[in-house]
Amino acid sequence: MLEKTDQVTEDIGQVMPNRRIYLKMKSLKEAQSIFFSAFNFTNFLKTEVISTTESLNRVTAKPIFARFSSPNFHCAAMDGYAVNAELTFGVTLDQPKELTIGKEVFAINTGYPLPDNTNAVIMIENVVEKEGKIEINKAVYPWQNVRKVGEDIVATELILPPNHRITPYDIGALLEGGIFEVEVKEKPKVIIIPTGNEVVPIEIAQDRGIEKGQVIESNSWMLSSLLNTTNAICEKWPVVPDEFRQLKTTIQKAVESDAHLVIILAGSSAGSKDYTVLALEELGEVLVHGVTIMPGKPTILAKVNNKPVIGNPGYPVSSVISFEQFVLPILSQMQGFVYEERPKLKVFLSCPVPSKLGIEEFLRVKLGQVGKNIVATPMPRTAGSITTLTKAHGIIRIPAQREGIEEDEQVEAELLVPQAEIFNTIVIIGSHDLTIDLLTSELKKIDPFLNISSSNVGSLSGLMAIKKGRAHLAGTHLFDPETGIYNLTYIDRYLPEIPVKVVNLVIRHQGLIVPKGNPKKIKSIEDLTRSDVLFVNRQRGAGTRILLDYKLKQLNINSSQIKGYDCEEISHMAVAVDVLSGRADVGLGIYAAAKALNLDFIPIAVEEYDLVVPETLWETKKIQTILQLINSHKFKQAVEKMGGYETSKTGMVKR
Ligand SMILES: Nc1nc2c(c(=O)[nH]1)N[C@H]1C(S)=C(S)[C@@H](COP(=O)(O)OP(=O)(O)OC[C@H]3O[C@@H](n4cnc5c(N)ncnc54)[C@H](O)[C@@H]3O)O[C@H]1N2
Ligand code: MOO
């Protein structure tokens, strides 16, 4: 049965199939090879003559020969006196010589033309100036300290070959050689066509906001900004609704224009309204639909009107990865230069990462140097979260033939940020707390060169990271029911052989997070056993989970009595989001998370959130700067303002 939205296309006189599942998926290498070899880019781009001063990064269309020599006169290479070298022959320490200024020698500065009948320069340091004369005690040889005509560039010699990408140095050489205009390949023109009924252009979103179900059209802006790193000119077309005929006509218009490459955003997958592949099949040849990469799987690579046309997946991270793998290299190839890969670093993962066999994964990671090792902390793997790219320092590619990466395995990470940023990153692993986010932003204010990479893996995993030398700091709030003490007994148990310092970050209020107005009238932990109440839990090892289990034991409640006990989230905010979205009725978390999303909060406990630091790192600048910040009045004030925190022990070294 056709869906209501499927179109009967009059122009092709047939009924649209319901949807198109991917053709046979290709590996990244196969897909790139098929796509890149499908075009002959010789003379694909016309040429144009532009000013040399504007030619940075453009690609030469022809060989460029020098018009002038440089220098075009013999000139002094040093400050001193120009002389005919013969006059100095035989001069030594024992046999010094006086030469007359203005007759035999001539004062000269670096870069000035040599006077007639001179062929060398005596450096000013090597003369004793006397009345109208100089005394020397060392000979100079012909052309010593002189830049001869054409030393750098000889007129008519080749300055740049064709198909050369012009660098800043080339601009210097071209101008020196008297080349003020260059013939280069025209800039490739790229048309981006956003699609989707739900997609709202930014002008409209800015004016009217967006409604439920609508999405701001951000991908074309992101991709056109990426295009700025090439020479391409980008033309963004209006959003095309999910309507087959309109999409097909638009693509046709785009490929018949003077554009060299066309990108269609979204609609590349298997949805009932994903028409891109069908339109492309009718207009030209679909070379690849589906690449075994993640994100970026539904990429479509096609040839229409002899031009490359790309179906770029809608999720933002998928969009970027697909774009970087297929669009940027083909634009380089079109212009005749090699696509530059990102620099790489050897790193260790902070935890094992399983992955899907047969799929090459682009894992976004945060990086930081702890001791001698660069530690990579995986970011969430969702293709829909662009923040996994904005916050990432690098990308680790997990090969398709692997089922994951082990914790202690050394792997390569492609860098998304300058290397210095990684060396200046403080790695905090452990339990999640919003004051870590505050630390991150406040730290940037007091030291713009320091960064924090924090990952939320729970308190116990934080301690394990310290044990393995994978973190500078661990954030922990582990309650010991036996002693009533926070953290210290766990540190004794799990880190007996590692001397550490323990600093209190905050005292915080934990409680039940419920929707605004508390519709289910939840008052206490006992209410979690009600059949009409759906709970959301934290992951095993999280301090909040340990607190809950302790409270349940105290109240003699079995976890099986709680609906949703097995449903886990890895942060307080994730729990709060579940409550806000109605996925759960209640979760246990900190007040600040409830407040951030305007939810209600029923206090249950007060706990100590501490930072654990290996003693070996205590005196380092990174740790001392963090400690200075934590102890500042400004930081404590900002924490108090968030609500649900106390700072009476903040900065206190507990051990
Ligand atoms: N049954 C299956 N469903 C999906 C599969 C699959 O294999 N089987 N693949 C998934 C994968 S992987 C990806 S990636 C997505 C991409 O699909 P599309 O390219 O068809 O994109 P849409 O579904 O239209 O949109 C996805 C998402 O992106 C938003 N979007 C779209 N355009 C823009 C834009 N210009 N700016 C910002 N955001 C945009 C859109 O609203 C959606 O939220 O398919 C999976 N599905
Ligand atoms: O392959 Mo999709 O691009 O993971 O989200």
Encode pLDDT of 413-455 as tens digits. 999 999 999 999 999 999 888 899 999 999 999 999 999 988 8
The confidence band for 144, taking pLDDT boundaries of 50, 70 and 90, is very high
Distance 391 CA to ligand 2 centre (A): 19
Query: Does the pTM of the predicted model rise above 0.80?
Result: yes
> Which stretch of 158-172, 318-332, 478-492 has the lowest confidence by average pLDDT?
478-492
The angle formed by the CA atoms of residues 468, 459 and 446, to the nearest 5 degrees, is: 85
So what's the pLDDT on residue 22? 60
> What number is the average pLDDT over the span 385-412?
93
The alpha carbon of 297 and the centre of ligand 2 are apart by a number of angstroms equal to 5
383 lines ligand 2 (CB under 6 A): yes
Q: How confident is the model at residue 116 (pLDDT cuts 50, 70, 90)?
A: very high
**Domains in the chain, ordered, with CATH?**
8-41+188-335 (3.40.980.10), 47-70+152-185 (3.90.105.10), 75-147 (2.170.190.11), 358-467 (2.40.340.10), 478-646 (3.40.190.10)
Whether 296 lines ligand 2, by a CB cut-off of 6 Å, is yes
Reference 491, options 411, 535, 570, 430; nearest CA is: 430
Higher pLDDT: 433 or 365? It is 365
Q: Whose CA is nearest to atom 4 of ligand 2?
A: 295
CB of 311 within 6 A of ligand 2: the answer is no
ipTM computed for the complex: 0.98
Task: Identify which ligand lies nearest to the alpha carbon of 196.
Answer: 1
The rounded mean pLDDT for the chain is 92
14 pLDDT band (50/70/90 cuts)? Answer: very low
Query: Which is the closest atom of ligand 1 to the Cα of 194?
Result: 35
380 CA distance to ligand 1 middle (Å): 18
Residues with a CB atom less than 6 Å from ligand 1: 194, 196, 198-199, 215, 217-220, 265-271, 274, 295, 297-298, 313-315, 318, 383
Q: Which residue lies with its CA nearest to atom 1 of ligand 1?
A: 270
User: Tokens 């590619």 label which residue?
Assistant: 397
| 512 in contact with ligand 2, CB cutoff 6 A | no
pLDDT band at 9 (very low <50, low <70, confident <90, very high): very low
**Which of the ligands is closest to the CA of residue 382?**
2
H helical segments located in 99-231:
168-176, 202-208, 219-227
Q: Is the dihedral of CA 287, 293, 299, 301 positive or negative?
A: negative
Question: Which pLDDT belongs to residue 286?
Answer: 96
Question: Which residue's CA is the closest to the ligand 1 atom numbered 25?
Answer: 314
Distance of CA 458 from the midpoint of ligand 1 (Å): 31
Contact 323, 299 (CB under 8 A): no
How far, in Å, from the CA of 247 to the mean position of ligand 1?
A: 16
| Mean pLDDT computed over 376-389 | 91
3-state class (DSSP) for residue 273: coil
Mean pLDDT value across residues 551-564: 95
Count of CB atoms within 10 A of residue 2's CB? 12
Residue of 18, 215, 240, 388 with the most ligand 1 atoms within 8 Å of its CB, for mutation:
215
Handedness of CA 60, 61, 64, 67 (dihedral sign): negative
- pLDDT tens sequence across 584-617: 999 999 998 999 899 999 999 999 999 999 999 9
What pLDDT score does 542 carry? 83
Atom 2, ligand 2: residue with shortest CA distance? 295
The atom of ligand 1 lying closest to the CA of 311 is: 19
User: Which residue from 215, 312, 315 has its CB within 8 A of the most atoms of ligand 1, so it is best to mutate?
Assistant: 315
pLDDT beyond 70 at 19: no
What whole-number percentage of the chain has pLDDT above 70? 96
- Contacts for 282 with CB less than 8 Å, ≥ 6 apart: 12, 248
Residue minimizing CA distance to atom 46 of ligand 1? 269
Q: Give yes or no for residue 55 having a pLDDT over 70.
A: yes
pLDDT score, position 11: 33
Q: How confident is the model at residue 268 (pLDDT cuts 50, 70, 90)?
A: confident
Higher-pLDDT residue of 483, 170? 170
Of the ligands numbered here, which is closest to the C-alpha atom of 295?
2
Contact 642, 628 (CB under 8 A): no
Instruction: Write out the two tokens for 649.
Output: 């022990």
Q: Please state the atom number of ligand 2 nearest to the C-alpha of residue 322.
A: 3
Q: Are 285 and 307 in contact (CB under 8 A)?
A: no
- As a three-state string, the secondary structure of 47-76 is EEEEEHHHCCCCEECCCEECCCCECCCCEE
HEC profile for 582-619?
Answer: CCCCEEEEEHHHHHHCCCEEEEEEEEEEEEEEEHHHCC
Query: Where does the pLDDT of residue 272 fall: very low under 50, low under 70, confident under 90, or very high at 90 and above?
Result: confident
Higher pLDDT, 196 or 571: 196
The dihedrals phi and psi of 623, each to the nearest 5 degrees, come to -70, -45
Please indicate whether residue 315, judged by its CB atom, sits closer than 6 Å to ligand 2. Answer: yes
Q: Residue 1 has what pLDDT? A: 30
- Please state, in angstroms and rounded to a whole number, the distance separating the CA atoms of residues 232 and 221: 14
Residue 90 — pLDDT band, cuts 50, 70, 90? very high
